[in-house]
Structure 1
Amino acid sequence: MSGDGGTAGNTGYGRKAFKRSKSHFADRITADGRDGWPVEAGRYRLVVSRACPWASRAVISRRLLGLEDALSMAITDPIQDDRSWRFTLDPGDRDPVLGIRFLSEAYDRRESGYPGGVSVPAVVDVPSGQLVTNDYQQLTLDLATEWTALHRPGAPDLYPHAWHDEIDEVMADVYEDVNNGVYRAGFATGQEEYEAACAGVFRRLELLTARLERRRYLVGDTVTEADIRLFTTLVRFDAVYHGHFKCNRWKLAENPVLWAYARDLFQTPGFGDTVDFDHIKRHYYQVHAGINPTGIVPLGPDLAGWLTPHHRQELGGRPFGDGTPPGPVRPAEEVPAAGRP
């Protein structure tokens, strides 16, 4: 999500049609260090907003893979100002590891006059204080495949090689029509543009409903990167996308299959325990002044439904494959009570 509060990477929602640009800083942190950034425990810091669906992918992956010791995490205030994402949740309004007040400082140390906004997720090199990457599409894939030496015992394989092609195909469709589609609808500046985007969202959701009616997960019989990417949009759907982004043909809770699928993932360790509905709602409704000029944050929806039985286990499948669930959330990373069902 960039400085406009609506996306990862650069955006163009003020133009004729919403367009998401590619990440400007696309270096990769790899096992062999071929981009100059080798995987190394303790060297990097992941900067996220719990409000952002793109950053939430990385939060979930890091927890499922057990990378908490290897990759520290900074959580920004859900409300930005004109200087970018702020560390106002920390003592002295500074990140305790990087020593900076705004994420833009790490961007500036990497490159002055860079194009586009300051986006999360971002990985910062702690020794130099420089941004390494804001490539939200590649980051989680690398956490799954390049950081394996630092994974916890029992970590799941979130991007199994045998399923790469199918996972990539599913993720491409989900990205175009759902992950990014809700933004194209929400930031549309014309009726036709909005209607096309909104129709695309629900057309894809209906196809996903058919896919998930008799299978527990999107690809194979375990949780994969594809499920993580769909979940981060679904968990925000009724809280913000249905009303705020006008994706209101129906609510997620009105679709029995997708609602059960989303609840199943929410109740899986590593998913729902990373979700902060308070941050999500306050960010979207208070930052997007062009859509919600009053800044009023709605009271609903009722979140209690996320904890109700889903019965998806009857379809079989093993969420962690041959692995095990992650342990309890670390106290410093627990979602405050205000953000939980």
Structure 2
Amino acid sequence: MSYVADPSSSDGEFNRDTDYIDTRITADGRDGYPVEPGRYRLIVARACPWANRTIIVRRLLGLEDVLSIGFCGPTHDERSWTFDLDPGEVDPVLGIHYLRDAYNARIPDYPKGVTVPALVDIESGQVVTNDYAQITLDFSTEWSAHHRAGAPQLYPEPLRAEIDEVAERVYTEINNGVYRCGFAGSQRAYERAYDRLFTALDWLEERLSGQRFLVGDTITEADVRLFTTLARFDPVYHGHFKTNRQKLAEFPALWAYARDLFQTPGFGDTIDFVQIKQHYYLVHSDINPTGVVPKGPDLSNWLTPHGREALGGKPFGDGTPPGPTREGERVPEGHSAG
């Protein structure tokens, strides 16, 4: 993902490059990549909100036994994300240090930014797709034969139109809106982005004052997409991206909603606040040239009672929460709240 103001924009507005490798892994294999247990590896970085979505959905749906996962470190340079956390700094399944190698295996001299998440075909070593928005939808639909018993319906057909509508506004105004503030190239562009962001957050505050989840009575894809931005708001975006009208903790309904999700298995147990702060404050050297990573904020308040049960609804509906996080996939001790 390109983290710069669009040079074609006369007022310094940030525009995200959204041209991804859009090949899909499907049940019928119509793009040449059928769903097959053990064939693919999901490459993520805990620091990245877009990758964090896939970690959450894979865990909620119980796809751990059919889709392995590899973790890049929290920082990268202009070339690539790297497997800094593994022995020898090499992914133990793909045998590579630079994720770019998997991109180049698919498209020689891959001309765009190397992004996470990415689904890699293990045998060929080639990236199949990095289309993060489609990946999680396909986990819910195309991979359904491999869902765990009791898995939630994150993208139920009767609610898809509303989920899509809410998720689109969440993406344009909030998920991408914080970046529009942080990478604005002029005062005017920043203030316009700031106003758009907080208009959308006010809309969410009102919506979530009367309902527990964004759409329907259970967690859906829309909640996953919003949560990863909310988890980063106070530790990073409020200061680093200048989204400082107020903290998340100063929105009564939105903050209670975020805590509700954080305390739901599959959400908060994927959040690594240490890596999140390292990523933003070290990689974005144009915004933070000293490379100093802030010590705060205090994160213990994520575990305080939220009271959202009074609004009704159940996170997993008639299903069940996922079991404990697998060995080797747990957030390191001391990296999360508490």
Provide the TM-score with structure 2 as the length reference: 0.97
Work out which of the residue numbers 182, 187, 207 in structure 2 matches 1:186: 182
Does the 8 Å contact 2:3/2:183 carry over to 1? no
Does the 8 Å contact 1:23/1:134 carry over to 2? no
Does the 8 Å contact 1:120/1:134 carry over to 2? yes
Question: Residue deviations 1:201-222, cap 9 Å, x none?
Answer: 1100000111000100000000
Work out which of the residue numbers 41, 52, 55 in structure 2 matches 1:56: 52
Distance in 1 separating the partners of 2:97 and 2:198: 40
Q: Which amino acid aligns with 1:292?
A: N
Distance in 1 separating the partners of 2:334 and 2:89: 21
The aligned runs of 1:1-341 (5 Å cut-off) are 2=1, 10-13=2-5, 15=7, 16-341=12-337
How far apart are residue 340 of structure 1 and its match? 1.1
Distance in 1 separating the partners of 2:120 and 2:4: 26
How far apart are residue 17 of structure 1 and its match? 2.0
Unpaired runs of at least 5, structure 1: 3-9
Q: Which amino acid aligns with 2:156?
A: P
Distance in 1 separating the partners of 2:107 and 2:163: 34
Query: Residue 46 of structure 1: SS of its match in structure 2?
Result: strand
Distance in 2 separating the partners of 1:338 and 1:36: 42
* Equivalent residue number for residue 6 of structure 1: none
Distance in 2 separating the partners of 1:145 and 1:13: 35
Query: Residue 41 of structure 2: SS of its match in structure 1?
Result: strand
Distance in 2 separating the partners of 1:115 and 1:180: 23
Q: Which amino acid aligns with 2:90?
A: R
Q: Which amino acid aligns with 2:225?
A: R
Structure 1 residues 289, 11: CA separation in 2 closer, same or farther (over 3 Å shift)? closer
Distance in 1 separating the partners of 2:93 and 2:31: 24
Distance in 1 separating the partners of 2:223 and 2:313: 13
Does the 8 Å contact 1:24/1:115 carry over to 2? no
Query: Residue 178 of structure 2: SS of its match in structure 1?
Result: helix
Query: Residue 240 of structure 2: SS of its match in structure 1?
Result: coil
Q: Which amino acid aligns with 1:44?
A: Y
Does the 8 Å contact 2:235/2:277 carry over to 1? yes
Distance in 2 separating the partners of 1:47 and 1:81: 17
Distance in 2 separating the partners of 1:84 and 1:264: 35
How far apart are residue 14 of structure 1 and its match? 5.4
Q: Which amino acid aligns with 1:330?
A: R
- State the aligned residue count: 333
Distance in 2 separating the partners of 1:14 and 1:163: 35
CA-atom RMSD in angstroms:
0.9
Query: Residue 132 of structure 1: SS of its match in structure 2?
Result: strand
Provide the TM-score with structure 1 as the length reference: 0.96
Unpaired runs of at least 5, structure 2: none
Does the 8 Å contact 1:285/1:295 carry over to 2? yes
Distance in 1 separating the partners of 2:301 and 2:76: 30
Distance in 2 separating the partners of 1:23 and 1:233: 21
Distance in 1 separating the partners of 2:101 and 2:331: 26
* Equivalent residue number for residue 5 of structure 1: none
